[in-house]
């Protein structure tokens, strides 16, 4: 219903603070302009006796009514109250004047009338603050912070509602949202207190369980705070468990070690996978340990994530491994030395110490192997016995040192003029042998003999001495001249001796 500038909404049974009120007839919510004393009150006697100026009544609406207390027409007016005063009673005529003033002011000046939200919107307003109270308490966790925040929000609700009422005429719910805000916050705080109690019991039980584990164990939350530590952990770190629970890794360990722990923890949180890693940490005494840490991710009944870590101290094992490596290295070195010594002994046992050629022992072994090979492959083997002519005279005239040099040179010349498969040996003194496997025959052996003779007959220049020696060579072929090793050796030796005798006889003539 509209009058001038004013629009008057009919009162509904649940508008404002009213609940199931009578909404019959043409009712509106009153928003009167003033209280007792703002209207001109004159008595009927003064009007009749002419004591009141006519100007007082010009362009005015005049209400006539009783103001005597005996009539008992007085009513409480909320607009007549102050912060610390009760509402005053005003007469019925004044009350009617207030209503009429509201209607005229609204129609002429656009004074706002009292407006209310639809009931559904009011319920949304209340539910929103109920959610705000619960969410804040859940996020803040601490009762003191929650109470201060709820009080601050309640004051803001009251202030906003007051401003909206004074300047726009909106009657917003105040008490219901504050009660919803406070009630939901209180319920969450009670729930959190219950959870803390249950958490404390679970923590105490978990603490008793992990204290029975001999390995160090730690439990961290997503903020990397220590939640539970067992006694073995405190013993390993070197601090009491109570002290460790209030400290972070940054406060306990060097920066590089703490950064490694942080990276490994984050890896588990992000991957949701079990991780095991070898790490270093320094305890309270400054001793650095090598540890293997196994981290697993766990979730409690309310969705909180925790890392459970189990530590194994590998320091002693690593030291033992290093000691074993050092021992193995020493053993390997000793084995190498023993091998070298064994090779040297084997070489010494099978080689002539002066010339380095195979000695008599190895000569017989090698000859037997070659004969077996020749039998199997139907090949021929040549055996040469070589004596140096005039070698005794060299020892007698120039000394044994020169004689030894001659023997070494002879050994080198023999090795250079023969095949790699041939074997040159020194049996002793100036006696040498040559084994020729796979020789093509008598002619081939003779060519080898001529080559050896030409090579050795070349003069030797030793310590400013030009020395010449001759050779006596005996040849025996398997299987042409002998059928076994002994016969082959005897034939070659006899032919060598026979050749030497012939040379001596020729010299004596």
Output the DSSP codes for 43-65: -HHHHHTT-S-GGGGTT------
Tell whether the model's pLDDT for residue 502 goes beyond 70.
yes
Exposure string (b/e) for 489-504, b if CB count within 10 Å is 16 or more?
bebbbebbeebbeebe
Domain of 422? 352-508
| 102 and 125 belong to one structural domain | no
Domain boundary among 66, 101, 116: 116
Determine the Cα–Cα distance for residues 310 and 317; give it in Å rounded to an integer.
17
Output the DSSP codes for 229-279: E-HHHHHHHTS-HHHHHT--HHHHS-HHHHHHHHHHHHHHHHH-S-EEEEE
- In this structure, of 60-64, 200-204, 314-318, 413-417, the range with the lowest mean pLDDT score is 200-204
| 371 and 285 belong to one structural domain | no
Answer whether residue 318 is part of any domain: no
Answer whether residue 67 is part of any domain: yes
Q: Quote the mean pLDDT of the chain.
A: 84
451 or 500: whose pLDDT is higher?
451
Across residues 161-180, what is the average pLDDT?
A: 86
CATH number at residue 395: 3.30.70.270
Pairing of β 115-116 and β 170-171: parallel
**Which pLDDT does position 83 carry in this prediction?**
59
| 404 and 371 belong to one structural domain | yes
The closest of 440, 294, 316 to 381, measured between CA atoms, is: 440
| 168 and 243 belong to one structural domain | no
**Which pLDDT does position 346 carry in this prediction?**
74
Dihedrals phi, psi of 333, to nearest 5 degrees = -65, -45
| 177 and 219 belong to one structural domain | no
pLDDT in tens, 327-381: 888 888 888 888 888 777 777 778 888 888 898 888 898 999 999 998 999 889 9
Domain boundary among 165, 196, 227: 196
| 180 and 112 belong to one structural domain | no
Task: Show the tokens assigned to 343.
Answer: 């090779």
Under a CB-based contact definition with an 8 Å cutoff, are residues 186 and 274 in contact? no
| 374 and 455 belong to one structural domain | yes
**Which pLDDT does position 124 carry in this prediction?**
92
| 275 and 247 belong to one structural domain | yes
Burial class (CB in 10 A: 0-12, 13-18, 19+), 472: buried
- In this structure, of 180-194, 245-259, 340-354, 465-479, the range with the lowest mean pLDDT score is 340-354
**Which pLDDT does position 84 carry in this prediction?**
62
**Which pLDDT does position 396 carry in this prediction?**
83
Q: Which residue has the tokens 């199997």?
A: 376
**Which pLDDT does position 185 carry in this prediction?**
85
In terms of C-beta distances under 8 Å and separation of at least 24 residues, what long-range contacts does 37-41 make, across chains too?
39/94, 39/97, 39/101, 41/67, 41/94
Determine the Cα–Cα distance for residues 89 and 80; give it in Å rounded to an integer.
8
pTM: 0.42
Q: Per the structure, how many domains does the chain have?
A: 4
Determine the Cα–Cα distance for residues 490 and 498; give it in Å rounded to an integer.
12
Answer whether residue 444 is part of any domain: yes
CATH number at residue 283: 3.30.450.20
Tell whether the model's pLDDT for residue 37 goes beyond 70.
no
Label each residue of 107-124 as H, E or C.
HHHCCCCCEECCHHHHHH
**Which pLDDT does position 504 carry in this prediction?**
62
Element (H, E) at 7: strand 6-7
Tell whether the model's pLDDT for residue 509 goes beyond 60.
no
Across residues 470-491, what is the average pLDDT?
A: 87
DSSP state, 454? H
Label each residue of 373-440 as H, E or C.
HHHHHCCCEEEEEEEEECHHHHHHHHCHHHHHHHHHHHHHHHHHCCCCCCEEEEEECCEEEEEEECCC
Nearest-Å Rg of the Cα atoms of the chain is 62
Tell whether the model's pLDDT for residue 508 goes beyond 60.
no
pLDDT in tens, 380-393: 999 899 888 888 88
Determine the Cα–Cα distance for residues 273 and 295; give it in Å rounded to an integer.
9
| 357 and 375 belong to one structural domain | yes
Determine the Cα–Cα distance for residues 437 and 419; give it in Å rounded to an integer.
10
């Amino acid at each position: 219903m509209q009058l001038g500038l004013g629009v008057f909404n009919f009162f509904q049974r649940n508008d404002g603070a009213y609940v199931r009120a009578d909404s019959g007839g043409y009712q509106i919510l009153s928003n009167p302009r003033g209280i007792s004393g703002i209207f001109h009150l004159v008595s009927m006697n003064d009007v009749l006796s002419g004591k009141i100026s006519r100007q007082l009544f010009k362009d005015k609406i005049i209400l006539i009514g009783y103001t005597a207390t005996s009539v008992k027409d007085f009513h409480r007016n909320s607009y007549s109250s102050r912060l610390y005063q009760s509402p005053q009673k005003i007469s019925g005529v004044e009350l009617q004047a207030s209503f009429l003033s509201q209607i005229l002011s609204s129609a002429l000046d656009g004074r706002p009338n009292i407006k209310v939200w639809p009931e559904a919107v009011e319920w949304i307003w209340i539910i929103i603050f109920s959610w705000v109270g619960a969410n804040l308490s859940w996020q803040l966790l601490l009762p003191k912070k929650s109470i201060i925040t709820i009080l601050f929000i309640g004051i803001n609700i009251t202030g906003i509602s007051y401003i909206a009422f004074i300047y726009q005429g909106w009657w917003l719910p105040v008490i219901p949202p504050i009660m919803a805000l406070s009630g939901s916050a209180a319920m969450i705080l009670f729930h959190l207190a219950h959870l803390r109690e249950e958490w404390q019991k679970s923590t105490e039980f978990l603490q008793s369980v992990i204290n029975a584990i001999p390995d160090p164990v730690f439990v961290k939350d997503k903020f990397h705070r220590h939640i539970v530590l067992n006694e073995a952990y405190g013993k390993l770190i070197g601090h009491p468990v109570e002290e460790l629970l209030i400290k972070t890794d940054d406060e306990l360990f060097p920066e590089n070690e703490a950064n490694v722990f942080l990276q490994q923890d984050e890896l588990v949180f992000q991957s949701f996978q079990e991780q095991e890693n070898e790490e270093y940490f320094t305890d309270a005494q400054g001793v650095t340990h090598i540890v293997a840490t196994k981290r697993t991710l766990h979730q409690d009944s309310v969705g909180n994530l925790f890392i459970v870590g189990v530590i194994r101290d590998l320091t002693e094992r690593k030291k033992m491994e290093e000691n074993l490596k050092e021992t193995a290295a020493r053993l390997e070195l000793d084995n190498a030395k023993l091998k070298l010594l064994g090779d040297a002994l084997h070489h010494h046992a099978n080689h002539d110490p002066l010339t380095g050629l195979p000695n008599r022992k190895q000569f017989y072994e090698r000859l037997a192997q070659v004969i077996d090979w020749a039998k199997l492959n139907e090949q021929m083997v040549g055996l040469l016995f070589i004596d140096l002519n005039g070698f005794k005279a060299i020892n007698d005239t120039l000394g044994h040192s020169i004689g030894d040099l001659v023997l070494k040179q002879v050994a080198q010349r023999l090795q250079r003029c023969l095949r790699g498969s041939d074997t040159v040996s020194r049996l002793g003194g100036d006696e040498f042998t040559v084994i020729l496997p796979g020789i093509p025959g008598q002619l081939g052996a003779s060519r080898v003999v001529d080559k050896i003779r030409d090579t050795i007959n070349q003069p030797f220049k030793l310590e400013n001495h030009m020395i010449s020696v001759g050779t006596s060579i005996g040849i025996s072929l398997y299987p042409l001249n002998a059928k076994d090793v002994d016969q082959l050796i005897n034939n070659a030796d006899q032919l060598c001796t026979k050749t030497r005798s012939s040379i001596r006889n020729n010299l004596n003539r």
